[in-house]
Chain A
Amino acid sequence: MREPVEESEGSGESEESRESGDGDGNVIRTHALTKRYRGGQLAVDRLDLTVPAGSVFGFLGPNGSGKTTTIRMLMGLIEPTAGSARVLGHPMPRAARTVLPHVGALIEGPALYGFLSGRDNLLRYDAADPTADPRTRRTRVERALERVGLTAAAGKRARAYSLGMKQRLGLAAALLQPRRLLVLDEPTNGLDPQGMREIRSLVRELASDGTTVFLSSHLLDEIEQVCTHAAVMAQGRLITQGAVADLAAGARGRLVVTTPDTADAARVLKEQGAADVTAEEARVTAEPPDRDLAEVTVALVTAGVRVRGLTVERASLEDAFVALTGEGFDVAG
């Protein structure tokens, strides 16, 4: 199924083509990928990104962290200043014509011809692909419309579509052909909760068919719900990447003791080596100490603290994110 790495020009590429990683297992692989815009602004800084085949890959980062610039470089729309990117085993942007027919993309929201109907928009995008058979064009378009639930509105002019409908039409364009990679930039923008659920189940369905889905989103719980892997960017740099479970585990959970004796509990926890102890009303939270929590419990009870509950709250991806970037979801300066 996987194509061999084709190289027609020897110099410069030979080193990379010897790397075994590209041919087996990774759908996207960048090496020191850098983009400096003409104004001197460094948008992406030496990015080493690896997206395993078959994964649902979440691409996270605050606004302005370089996610879209990265996606545009992967799609051959922007020439990197330095470094290299390989998509489906081929170098981008050079092999765009080989690679892109296998890639469906939704980049920075949908863009449509307002004066054309939804159906005609898809016919046009399908005609732009030189590998698409014109004899089956209408069938493909109808199937894509059906898949995103737009069949009823297909004859309306796209200008009259709501944002959610435009988003669906953009998705339909990405799904015209069976794809090996789907790049979705903020796919649930403008959708109502029902639409979001549909997109999530669509992503899962595609992933179970073997399509790799590269999903950028600012909604962490969305990433947590559907993604198997994730990467976090901040200010043009890759902070971390890996399996979602590992990332969340990387951030330590918080020890929560529910008790009426908050002052005593806080003192005991400090004695037990817990850091960042905070006493609130009827509960004390702290970073868990390195020792066994059973011993902490014994110490609390021995000191006469009436314990109602003692748990470690699991770290969410958001905690991991905040721990890694040192910031929330604000725009990076």
Chain B
Amino acid sequence: MSRADTAAVRPSAEAARGPNPLWTFGLLRSELVTTFRRWRTLALLAVLAAVPILVGIAVKIETGDGSSAGPGGGGEGGPAFIAQITNNGLFLVFTALAATLPFFLPMAIGVVAGDAIAGESSAGTLRYLLVAPAGRTRLLLTKYATVMAFCLVATLVVAVSALAVGALLFPLGDLTTISGTTIGFTDGLLRALLIALVVAASLTGVAALGLFVSTLTGSGIAAMATTVGLLITVQILDQIPQLHAIQPYLFSHYWLSFADLMRDPVYWDELEKNLGLQALYAAVFGSAAWARFTTKDITA
């Protein structure tokens, strides 16, 4: 539609009003404000902020008698880095991100992305946005940008909450990398920020998938449930050894590769695969969402 529009817009109607191209971002601003003012969004963020608090308190209680948490104790495993938290509170950031990335974070993204178009559709507000006219491509891009912003904010909420709890309950200082070398606290903090950014980027695939599902249905709840259901299915498929042939194509397969940023030197191989896979998901499902949304009859 755009080619014909721009040709017609310039000389005729718009000349009188003279709209500034920057005004188009008013919708993005409105979308961000609307999303982050909703109680639902704030509740999701509160749940995410609570995870590091719970982990931190649990580790503190467990290790109150001087023993160390994690491997060696009763339960084998637990989230990555959990054993180091008592030595350095900064490790709580990595532990919290490793604990929330498989489910809590993508679920929150699934709710926001799934509701993005379908929620407007079921409330009937979609028709008024389009008649305003928001423009279908513009609205979809705005929605995707907002979901991405939510990915980033959600990840940072987990990281900042974990850093605060870690600093309160445990000592801070130089940290030991997985490779065994020691890096300074400032360097560690920078790596924590880098990890948060990588985790946020790991969620762009789910975000695109959720947005595509959102264009398929007129019910916000159905879109959210489908997205979260797909997430769980993919996580299960990723655990079945017989399916190893398809697993490298599952969007969650390389998620935990962010731990490689804690190696010295950093091991980039899987990190690159992860980011490449997320870009592929964003491209495929982003295009599918665009193809669907720009041709859809809006009857709600």
Contact = CB atoms under 8 A, between A and B. Distances in A.
Given A111-B123, A128-B30, A134 B23 contact: yes
Contacts of A78: 297-299
B131 A97 contact: no
B34 interface: yes
Contacts of B27: 127-128, 130
Interface string B1-40: 1111101110111100101100110110110001001110
B133 interface: yes
A194 interface: no
B132 to A, nearest CB: 4
Main secondary structure of the interface of B (DSSP, over half): helix
B128 interface: yes
Contacts of B38: 115
Nearest to A77: B298
A94 B130 CA distance: 13
Contact of B133 (A101, A108, A111, A123): A101
A3 B9 CA distance: 11
B13 A102 contact: yes
A100 B132 contact: yes
Given A8-B4, A78-B298, A130-B26, A97 B135 contact: yes
A105 interface: yes
A95 B3 CA distance: 10
Given A77-B127, A115-B39, A97 B1 contact: yes
A241 to B, nearest CB: 24
B26 A127 contact: yes
Contacts of A116: 34, 37
A129 B133 contact: yes
A75 to B, nearest CB: 5
A271 interface: no
Interface string A100-118: 1111010111011111100
Contact of A79 (B3, B20, B132, B297): B297
B133 A6 contact: no
A9 interface: yes
A115 B115 CA distance: 15
Interface string B27-69: 1011000100111000000000000000000000000000000
Given A102-B13, A123-B30, A113 B1 contact: no
Interface residues of A, number: 47
A96 B131 CA distance: 8
Contacts of B125: 111-113
A173 B128 CA distance: 9
Contacts of A111: 123-125, 127-128
Contacts of A123: 30
Given A8-B3, A9-B4, A94-B1, A75 B131 contact: yes
A6 B8 contact: yes
A134 B139 CA distance: 17
A288 interface: no
Given A78-B299, A130-B27, A95 B8 contact: yes
A137 B33 CA distance: 16
Interface in A266-325: none
A105 B7 contact: no
B134 interface: yes
A250 interface: no
B151 to A, nearest CB: 22
Contacts of B138: 130
Which of A3, A97, A108 has the most chain B CB within a 10 Å cutoff?
A: A97
A77 B130 contact: yes
Which of B34, B128, B139, B297 has the most chain A CB within a 10 Å cutoff?
A: B128
Contacts of B37: 115-116
B23 A77 contact: no
A128 B1 contact: no
A130 B135 contact: yes
Nearest to A124: B30
Nearest 7 A-B pairs (CB), nearest first? A111-B124, A8-B7, A100-B133, A128-B132, A127-B30, A6-B8, A127-B26
7 contacts: A9-B3, A116-B37, A124-B30, A127-B30, A130-B133, A133-B23, A134-B26
Interface of A: 3-4, 6, 8-9, 72, 75-79, 90, 93-98, 100-103, 105, 107-109, 111-116, 123-134, 137, 170, 173
